[in-house]
Amino acid sequence: MAEKQVKVGLVGFGTVGCGVAKLILEDVDSIAAKTGLRLELACVVDTDTKSPRPVKLPNGILTNDINRLLNDDTIQIGVELVGGTDAAKQVQLKMLEAGKDVVTANKALLAEYGSELYKAAHKNNRCIAFEGSCAGGIPIISAIRTGLAANNITAMYGIVNGTCNHILSEMTSKDEDFAEALTQAQDKGYAEADPTLDISGEDSAHKLAILASIAFGYEIKLDDIFVEGIEAISKGDIRYGGEMGYILKLLAIGQKDKDNRVSLRVHPSFIARDNPLARVDGPFNAISVFGSAVGQVMYYGRGAGMMPTASAVVADIIDVALGNSATTFRHLHLKPRNEIESLIEKIGNCISRFYIRVMCKDQAGVVARWSKILGDHQISISGALQHEGIGPDNTVPVVIITHPTQQKNITAALEELEKLDVLSGKPVCIRIVDIPEDKD
């Protein structure tokens, strides 16, 4: 069968850009054999054309002039790997207007301006493919959009930030402090010098916004997502939770109830030790998706890195060139804000079980006083843990697990607990996430 020549222009020649260039250049023959497509890297655009990179481009294709890409009508696909939101958005819009289909791995941009960009693509009769934007090498977007197309997706629980998962895994297995685990993650290259975007949970929220949009068909905004990071997690709480049968993970959670109300949140979560997600360690990502027909499915793999993300980007390039992406993208219609705004659940209404740790002063009647506050807020206790012995500051940690209760009850109770003179410091509160069991 005759091969089809496909010219690709790449904007952004950083880590992932290098991986994409490498795959296109080195695997051109095997991709042609598998797909009938002969990919050609027509130009690579970057403001920095001087720094050495780990991939050697053919002479003359590296340029700092994006017009070479935009004005070349033989280039069918533009790959945006600039990162960030402002410049990248302009690059995508220009490429769409110039008649290129767009492939991107830019999660921050899609989380913030996805709806706007999708509309621009529809208007120009082009498509945007973004498999690389969530969970790197794991083909989760195509799984949700095509593999599970016959399902009503009711929930997803994802470990979608490898930095946080690495840090929490190390804190758990080595009983390390957060600061210690972060420094080591930075030394190993698993965390950035400025790790804020990862450890604050914001990066996970970007991915959740994209995944929830396509899974639930809603125009999700970042503001719809409650976000809490892992900065305040102590190794003691990981250890106490472990004694009670839980493993701590930073989860991105999207749930849709039978009335189509959607709850979206990113926060540290204690999950049962025997849940498959509890066993996802180190820099790996995994996403459990619940579908009405399929039950629970889970996808596991590397969530970041040069070649895993490049693998997803090149898969998208192939899918776009075959015409499959256009078909799928044509039917990406997100319910607009005015229809869904009332369907986004406020965090205060979320029902959850909670892990609460207080530091009790060594006095008689302490338990009675703080447990009364819980009772006053209709919070019922399902488990407790207190080791014998008093700490150096004459306090003792007491952990309780609550029955399911609304977040707002807990918030109100915590405010009162914080003021209680028989407790020392702020109480610690971590949500326990009961991932449904798909067993019979």
Cβ at position 44, least distance to a copy of itself in Å = 17
Kindly state whether residue 336 participates in binding a copy of itself, applying the rule CB under 8 A. Answer: no
Q: What pairing do the DSSP bridges indicate for beta strands 405-406 and 351-361?
A: antiparallel
Kindly state whether residue 343 participates in binding a copy of itself, applying the rule CB under 8 A. Answer: no
Whether residue 188 lies in the annotated active site = no
Task: Candidates 124, 154, 184, 328: give the one binding a copy of itself (CB under 8 A).
Answer: 328
Q: Distance from CA of residue 363 to its chain's centroid?
A: 44
Task: Candidates 71, 119, 125, 149: give the one binding a copy of itself (CB under 8 A).
Answer: 149
Residue (333 or 346) nearer to a copy of itself, CB? 333
Token pair, residue 342, equals 């009332």
- Binding span for a copy of itself by CB under 8 A among 7-15, 143-151, 251-259, 377-385: 143-151
Cβ at position 328, least distance to a copy of itself in Å = 7
Residue (92 or 311) nearer to a copy of itself, CB? 311
Kindly state whether residue 30 participates in binding a copy of itself, applying the rule CB under 8 A. Answer: yes
Which amino acid is residue 299, in one-letter code?
A: Y
Q: Which value, in Å, is the radius of gyration of the alpha carbons in the chain?
A: 24
Within 73-153, residue ranges assigned H as helices are 86-97, 107-123, 140-142
Name the catalytic one among 89, 107, 207, 256. 207
Task: Candidates 58, 276, 336, 404: give the one binding a copy of itself (CB under 8 A).
Answer: 276
The phi and psi torsions of 112 (rounded to 5 degrees) equal -90, -45
Q: What pairing do the DSSP bridges indicate for beta strands 262-272 and 423-432?
A: parallel
Kindly state whether residue 35 participates in binding a copy of itself, applying the rule CB under 8 A. Answer: yes
First to last CA, the chain: 49
- Binding to a copy of itself (CB under 8 A) within 287-316 occurs at 291, 293-302, 305, 307-308, 310-312, 314-315
Contact 40, 76 (CB under 8 A): no
Residue 121 pairs in a beta bridge with: none
Torsion of the alpha carbons at 198, 103, 84 and 141, rounded to the nearest 10: -30
Residues 6 or more apart from 276 whose CB is under 8 A from it?
A: 286, 288, 298
- Binding span for a copy of itself by CB under 8 A among 34-42, 367-375, 378-386, 390-398: 34-42
Residue (19 or 83) nearer to a copy of itself, CB? 19
Give the separation between CA 303 and CA 316, rounded to whole angstroms: 16
For binding to a copy of itself (CB under 8 A), which residues are involved?
A: 1, 19, 23, 27, 30-31, 33-36, 131, 136-139, 142-143, 146-152, 217, 276, 279-280, 282, 291, 293-302, 305, 307-308, 310-312, 314-315, 318-319, 322-324, 327-328, 330-331, 333, 438-439
Q: Active-site residues: which are they?
A: 207
